[in-house]
Amino acid sequence: MDQTVSSSIKFGTDGWRGIIGFDFNMANLIRVVVASCQELKFQYSDNVKSKKILIGYDRRFMAEYFAKSIIPYINACGLEVILSSSFVTTPSCSLYVRELNILGALVITASHNPYNWLGLKIKNFQGSSVNELFTKEVERRIKLGNITEPVNLNYQIEDIKQIHIKKINSYFDMQFILERLRKMNIKIYIDAMHGSAAESINQLFQDNAGGVIQGIREEKDVYFSGNPPEPLMNYLDQLKDTLLRKTKEGFKTLGIVFDGDGDRIAVIDEKGRYCSTQVLFPYFLHSLGAKVKNNHSVLKTVSGSDVITNIAKSQNRNVIELPVGFKYIAEKMIQEKTFIGGEESGGIGFGDFFPERDALFASIVLLNCIANEEKYLCDSLDNIQRNYGPSFYERVDINFPDNSKKNLLKNYISDNIPKYICNNKIKNISHQDGIKLRIDNNYWVLFRFSGTEPLLRLYCEAPSKESLKNTLHWSKNFIKNIID
């Protein structure tokens, strides 16, 4: 394994990641861990008197090994270690930090990335992801050189997941949810994608959900069935087959999907339609907002659907648009009272829970909404489309084999923005986290470069399938010569 120290360790939208044995190796990890611990200690020691750092890890190849290997280097920073007793979701770690009032957490995970990736997420004492200013300081410490000699001290081992399970249970009547769903003749399948959220549903319902709710792909598989553990339709063949089989048996079916470290969610509704956060966020806002009579803000990213804004306005809620990355939402949730916040890629956070995205909590909110309303998700989504749409959305990822073209393409797009797209006049141009060209309500296109991968993400929302198709076609042609 190559142990060369990288001279350019960079943090993305949520943590640092790299290919195992190359960018992500023990030498690099030690430097990142030491710098992170030093910065946690420097920034937050006055906020919390604890010197404890939680180490969590997901189910990836060597994740547990790396988690245990960094303990002496955390000790060397004058900090005490709590190690998770088993694989655990990132939200479980975040909640533990907040509930136990400790300094922070380091989570060994690569989230939704392919099987050969691993990484590190940093959580502050409030349980949320650290902001960009924090990670810039970590990068600065790494460049200055922060080698330290390991110190072997005793450490705690704790069952981190159980605090998370108990906290979620305190918000809901699980028996009520099961009884209502059973009455609705619906079968729900939870696809853990072999990730850290596996077996959590059974624990939440205390193994009483078998006739209504069942988990699939819960066994450990470091190859994640050959696909990245990302809740996208292309990676959900087993779930789709299961739902189709049960539908033919006469049941309504619903599929819920978690990503590799359990902070992102997606759904396949009773009509077999894939539902990203662009669809789920409006549902949560519409369903919960009708019952909760406060005026707390709604937080969305620049890539979030306009339907969110339309619903929020109908509830007299302020909408704040932020860069992509849940750390920006989490930071804002801490600063002011927030009703709900979410991002396009699957992360949703609820203001009355804690400032972090949590797929497990979101899934129970979803089931509770369905049970309370005694209304299938697909019917509610159709009503939202009728009242706040129409809206059709798609994201296309364009790979950059040669990363040197990145700045060239950025400049090309900025310098060549036309007045019209597909005969529709551009009304507004935003440069917040990308280049967003707005044509109308529910109609825009966004060019944005990924913070963690060599990708250009092309986002589009349009009022019809034809408009969506034509606008994406125009967008691809617009950049084609530079890409090629």
- pLDDT by residue (tens digit) across 339-365? 999 998 889 999 999 899 999 999 999
Which of 344, 361, 388 delimits the end of a domain? 388
In this structure, the answer to whether residues 375 and 320 fall within a common structural domain is yes
In this structure, the answer to whether residues 383 and 396 fall within a common structural domain is no
In a domain, 156, yes or no: yes
29: CB partners within 8 A, 6+ apart: 66, 69, 70, 120
Quick check: 44 pLDDT over 60?
yes
Predicted local confidence at residue 1, as pLDDT: 39
Domain residue limits at 414: 392-483
In this structure, the answer to whether residues 181 and 146 fall within a common structural domain is no
- Number of domains comprising the chain: 3
Torsion of the alpha carbons at 128, 131, 136 and 138, rounded to the nearest 10: -20
In this structure, the answer to whether residues 453 and 377 fall within a common structural domain is no
pTM: 0.93
Q: Tell me the C-alpha distance between 133 and 14, whole Å.
A: 13
Predicted local confidence at residue 374, as pLDDT: 96
Which of 130, 161, 192 delimits the end of a domain? 161
The first and second tokens of residue 458, run together, are 């092309």
- pLDDT tens-place string over residues 401-430: 666 777 788 888 999 999 999 999 999 999
Under 8 Å between Cβ of 161 and 226:
no
Q: Tell me the C-alpha distance between 470 and 457, whole Å.
A: 17
The share of the chain scoring above pLDDT 90, in percent, equals: 84
In a domain, 232, yes or no: yes
Quick check: 131 pLDDT over 70?
yes
The CATH number of the domain holding residue 441 is: 3.30.310.50
How long, in residues, is the chain?
484
- Half-sphere exposure for 104 (CA within 13 Å, toward CB): 25
Least confident of 185-194, 225-234, 452-461: 452-461
Mean pLDDT of the chain: 93
Which of 340, 355, 388 delimits the end of a domain? 388
In this structure, the answer to whether residues 142 and 183 fall within a common structural domain is no
In this structure, the answer to whether residues 364 and 479 fall within a common structural domain is no
In this structure, the answer to whether residues 243 and 376 fall within a common structural domain is yes
In this structure, the answer to whether residues 403 and 456 fall within a common structural domain is yes
Predicted local confidence at residue 317, as pLDDT: 95
Q: Tell me the C-alpha distance between 58 and 43, whole Å.
A: 27
**The amino acid at 88:** V
In a domain, 11, yes or no: no
Predicted local confidence at residue 453, as pLDDT: 65
In this structure, the answer to whether residues 177 and 149 fall within a common structural domain is no
In a domain, 275, yes or no: yes
In this structure, the answer to whether residues 154 and 73 fall within a common structural domain is yes
Q: Tell me the C-alpha distance between 308 and 401, whole Å.
A: 35
Helices (H) then strands (E): counts for the chain: 16, 22
State mean pLDDT over 101-121.
97
In a domain, 7, yes or no: no
Under 8 Å between Cβ of 300 and 277:
no
In this structure, the answer to whether residues 182 and 153 fall within a common structural domain is no
In a domain, 5, yes or no: no
Q: By three-state DSSP, how is residue 259 classified?
A: coil
In a domain, 10, yes or no: no
In this structure, the answer to whether residues 31 and 115 fall within a common structural domain is yes
The CATH number of the domain holding residue 106 is: 3.40.120.10
Radius of gyration (C-alpha) of the chain in whole angstroms: 22
Q: Tell me the C-alpha distance between 406 and 427, whole Å.
A: 26
Q: DSSP states of 65-112 as a string?
A: HHHHHTHHHHHTTT-EEEEESS---HHHHHHHHHHHT-SEEEEE--TT
Quick check: 7 pLDDT over 60?
no
415 vs 210, more confident: 415
In a domain, 344, yes or no: yes
Distances (CA, A) of 80 to 43, 84, 154: 17, 13, 8
